[in-house]
Structure 1
Amino acid sequence: MKQINEKCIINHLPGDLVERVFFGLPVSTLLTCVGVCKHWHNIIRDPQFVALHLQCAPSYALLFFPSGLVSGKHYPSDAVLIDEAWSPSTYIVPVIGPGDFLFGSCNGLLGLYTKTSTIKIANLATGECLHLGKPVKNLKGDNFCFYSFGFHPVTKEYKITHFLGDCINGRPHNKDRFNIIQVYTLGDEKWKDIRTPEALSLISVRNSGVVNVDGKMYWLTEDMSASWQHAVMSFDIREESFAMIQLPAAREDHDYYGSRKFLIRDIDGKICIVTAQTSRYDARTLVGELQIWALDNMVEQRWSQKYNIKYPPDYILGPRFVHRDRILTQRGRNNVCSYELLGENFEIDSSKMVKLLDFSPCRHNLQSHNCVKSLVRLDVYKNAKIVCRPKQWEGWELNKWEAWERGLSENEKLCSVIHQVELNGIVCRLHSN
């Protein structure tokens, strides 16, 4: 009788009160509440509630470690969430398969590049996944860094973009340039080709990165007549239009340092240029002063210097390396550290760096993304013709390490068989002679 009375009380609570309670609950709890009753299901699945809950959701730093070969051994892709207390979360990221490469994070959705004919959009918290056909299948030289994932706040549309290098019949024609950006809107039937105003540098896209802010995509391109010989290109994903933004006035470089490196990053929702000179002896090592310039006004192309940091870290994570007033940086080969932003001008004291984790044996290409856990649904897009069911085994349904090693074992067996066949053929030819 007590349980019946409690059930009646819950069912008679005002809807706005229930919503207020739900706003403070994490996604994992809300997913459990969905099945309690139809009333709760309708509240939690309502698009307006999903949008409002997303606005209240705490953000995390998502560290992504791409798969690779280290000391002769293959390691799968993996990811770690850094929580609000600046400690590695015990929460695993099962939607990232062992061979996936992360190319974007937006409203709790991850954009993942696979080496098959599909790319994947996955909800970090719910585990829901959507597999989409790539714009060009079997494109040689294609890479996850040529894809980007964004959201337009006005149209509420999610867009995937792909920088298509000059190619003929799927083979690179000019691997350094591109003339077309391919765009796909979630729910549409196919990709759309948008021609750029002129041939642009694909190498700059790879080296400097791509960021999405307020419905626009930004990246650096070469401009030999401009300050620092670079400019920012923007692409409005709603209007499908391009614009070029000049960089701030260049400062004189030191002769005893190497060339200057430029990166584009998102800091607190603003487009920022991060630049420093490199070591003469190692182009990957930053030296001198790290300048961070923020774009204050796109129309007027007005910049302001946000930070000037002496003794910068060796490696700047991207596309988000500033989280909650702290810098996330890779120190040495295997350590992820954080350092408090102490003001506009300061020196980094290595003794005050806070070590967050050791990610050995992985070494290079560590990424840092801003991420939230959300209720954004993907099933509303599943009927588009471009959506496909992957034929390959899904790595996150089992232990990804076991899956990775199983695949490697099968490859090793195949190589062994081929080697034995070739060896037998050589022996037969020797006997016949």
Structure 2
Amino acid sequence: MPAMSRLGQQRCRRVATTSSPIHKPSFICISPSRIGTRPFLNRAAMGRDPSINGTSTHLVPIPRFGSAYLKPFQEDLVALLHPQARLIPMASEETNSKKKKEEECIINCLPGDLVERIFLRLSVSTLLRCTEVCKQWHKVIRDPQFITAHLEQAPRCALLFFPQESVHGKPYPSDAIVFDEGWSQSTVAVPVIGPDDFLCGSCNGLLCLYTKASTIKIANLATGECLHLDKPIKNLKGDHFSFYRFGFHPVTKEYKVTHFLGEHHNNSQGTFNVIQVYTLGSDKWKDVRSSEDLSLSCVKNSGVVNTDGAMFWLTEDAEASWKHAVISFDLSEESFARIQLPDSTLGGYRRYWITEINGKVCIATAEVHQHWPRMLSGKLQIWTLCSKLESSWSQMYSLRYTHNYLPGPHFVHWDKIMMQSSLGDLCSHELFGKGCGTKLSKRVKLLNFSPHKPDNVQSFICVKSLVRLDAYKKVRIVHGSKQQGGWGLKKWEAWERDICGVENVWKKVYKLERNSLAVAQHLATAAKMVLQRVPDEVTRQQIAMEIDQTLQHLPDFSDQHRRPQRRLNWVAWKRDDEKLAARVNRLKDITKAMGKVADGIHSALSDMLNHLQRISKDAAEISNES
């Protein structure tokens, strides 16, 4: 090992001479020469730092405060620095001065760029725990530049949203499922989504939610922070969640909520020429008027996407070949523009969707049933916008009809497309090829969302970020731990009782399983104790073997795991309910097996008594003969 620096030797001598048990931080042994070979710290930074000379070994002390939070991260931190780094527990003297505490903090002993690169590799949930370790870590992680850098590296997820609806007279709350890059799905409910909320958009880890109250809720998916904005017009007749959208401009760094204000709302069919815009951090809504009337039904049925600082949606255009055109709204200049669709002939009764694939605006179209306008019946074509100024498009995919529904607005994630069937199955297909030669392969069933209606399911792109909402102080911040979420309403009392009832049944099943095994094993033990009085070795072994074979037919209940403490989402709750039904059936099998055990033990004891009676009879006959 390289020679220890003078500062490190002094600290070690100081530690060795103290005997105070009050403050006992640990130390991390780090060799800067080895750190320099890692990508976290370049050699230029090593040359600027006089404490890093490539030859000395430094003992980096870990502060005592926050040790409960720090312990899970010590091994991760050391592993990121170098796999050969090791923790060396040592003792140090008690220190009360603020200067010494700052010197002992690991954040001051490591180069700043190295610490940031380590934090950039951690998930949002881990970083939130790191903020409670010490003030220095909190300052680094909450820095706006670090939040932006972490957001740029955050992996994209697919968020599947189920809006609140009533099926066969039973209300079902709003819910969401998050898929990661490996298509693994979340099992717990999203805390910031209330049972009556509707999702209007997702941007940089923030969700825009339409509530039944007089507010629009902006919530961070990962941190749980949320704020409430007053709606531009309270109790507006015919208002709909699909008329609210959420966007972000990458240059101005502004988040904006838009509201498409219609002239009239006759079954949500009508026109509008005003968009009401709210910029987060401001104190009022702003009206932006269009030079033409635009279709409100297209906004509701075809969707709205936010790309490169602009919102895009479809409107009706009787003179165009597709009978539609694209309208863009620049979030910075707050201006409108019209984009013509491809000049090609499309036949049949069709439906159109606007979506975003790999950061580009795309249009999807397919023939649909005339009586069921949301159900696909022909090929699905997807066109991508090549030039906004020239209104040029190119055909990206042409897919043969496979399923009935598309979960808009974002139904293409990574290299796969999500489709729904009328039976409630959500499947993913891998896209193979481009243009007219596109084929679907590797069909994978993701989940079954019944009894939710397939034409109501929505799909969004989302990330998990550290974007803070407390910067917008003109609105009220509500942290996740203080939210009631709407579950206290009377309409959800029956739903809550069902969840509590399921948990109680699980507890009873677990208890009955344990008791059944205990009783069976107790009976077997008692029977074997009685068998010890059987004088015949062969008979004793035979009966004991029969009892053991009977016990082997009992199920093994070593899988009695702890129940989840957080609320499950709908799909996970449905699977849990199916597992419970299977477990109850399994418990019935236990009862049958217990009967077999009792019969086996009873048979063994009967054989033993018969054997003893025969021995007694034989002994009596021998006694009489003698």
Partner of 1:371: 462
Partner of 1:135: 232
Structure 2, unpaired ranges of 5+:
1-23, 28-60, 64-103, 497-626
Partner of 1:276: 366
The structure-2 alpha-carbon separation of the partners of 1:311 and 1:53, relative to structure 1 and needing over 3 Å to count, comes to same
Alignment of 1:330-349 (within 5 A): 330-344=420-434, 345-348=437-440
2:297 paired residue among 199, 203, 211: 203
Deviation at 1:83, TM superposition (A): 1.7
Is 2:144 aligned against 1:47? yes
Partner of 1:413: none
Partner of 2:254: 157
Distance in 1 (CA, whole Å) between partners of 2:132 and 2:370 is 61
Alignment of 1:172-321 (within 5 A): 175-253=269-347, 258-280=348-370, 282-321=372-411
The farther-off stretch of 197-206 and 19-28 is: 197-206
3-state SS in 1 of match to 2:361: strand
Deviation at 1:179, TM superposition (A): 1.5
1:3 paired residue among 26, 38, 44: 26
Deviation at 1:259, TM superposition (A): 0.6
Contact 1:97/1:394, CA 8 A, preserved across alignment: no
The farther-off stretch of 338-347 and 103-112 is: 338-347
Distance in 1 (CA, whole Å) between partners of 2:495 and 2:139 is 46
Deviation at 1:172, TM superposition (A): 7.2
Is 2:179 aligned against 1:82? yes
Partner of 2:532: none
**Higher Cα radius of gyration:** 2
Deviation at 1:396, TM superposition (A): 3.5
2:474 paired residue among 369, 380, 383: 383
User: Which AA in structure 2 matches 1:378?
Assistant: L
Deviation at 1:15, TM superposition (A): 1.1
Whose RCO is larger (CA < 8 A, sep 6+)? 1
Distance in 1 (CA, whole Å) between partners of 2:423 and 2:192 is 26
Partner of 1:362: 452
User: Which AA in structure 2 matches 1:36?
Assistant: V
Distance in 1 (CA, whole Å) between partners of 2:128 and 2:217 is 22
The farther-off stretch of 154-163 and 357-366 is: 357-366
Structure 1, unpaired ranges of 5+:
410-433
2:205 paired residue among 77, 87, 108: 108
Partner of 1:38: 135
Contact 2:295/2:316, CA 8 A, preserved across alignment: yes
Distance in 1 (CA, whole Å) between partners of 2:239 and 2:370 is 31
The structure-2 alpha-carbon separation of the partners of 1:204 and 1:59, relative to structure 1 and needing over 3 Å to count, comes to same
TM-score (norm 2): 0.60
Partner of 2:493: 406
3-state SS in 2 of match to 1:353: strand
CA RMSD of aligned residues (A): 2.4
The structure-2 alpha-carbon separation of the partners of 1:252 and 1:89, relative to structure 1 and needing over 3 Å to count, comes to closer
TM-score (norm 1): 0.86
The structure-2 alpha-carbon separation of the partners of 1:3 and 1:404, relative to structure 1 and needing over 3 Å to count, comes to farther
Distance in 2 (CA, whole Å) between partners of 1:113 and 1:286 is 28
The structure-2 alpha-carbon separation of the partners of 1:189 and 1:48, relative to structure 1 and needing over 3 Å to count, comes to same
4+ residue segments displaced more than 6 Å: 171-174
Partner of 2:9: none
User: Which AA in structure 1 matches 2:462?
Assistant: C
Partner of 1:29: 126
3-state SS in 2 of match to 1:207: helix
Distance in 2 (CA, whole Å) between partners of 1:335 and 1:173 is 29
The structure-2 alpha-carbon separation of the partners of 1:362 and 1:214, relative to structure 1 and needing over 3 Å to count, comes to same
More helix by share: 2
For 1:111-152, what per-residue CA distance to the aligned partner results, in whole angstroms no more than 9, with x for missing partners?
A: 000011001000000000000000110001101100110000
For 1:274-294, what per-residue CA distance to the aligned partner results, in whole angstroms no more than 9, with x for missing partners?
A: 001113453322122211000
More strand by share: 1
Distance in 2 (CA, whole Å) between partners of 1:108 and 1:163 is 23
User: Which AA in structure 1 matches 2:106?
Assistant: I
For 1:14-35, what per-residue CA distance to the aligned partner results, in whole angstroms no more than 9, with x for missing partners?
A: 1111101000000111111112
Percent identity over paired residues: 57
3-state SS in 2 of match to 1:318: coil
User: Which AA in structure 2 matches 1:10?
Assistant: I
Equivalent pairs counted in the alignment come to 395
Contact 1:178/1:199, CA 8 A, preserved across alignment: yes
Partner of 1:327: 417
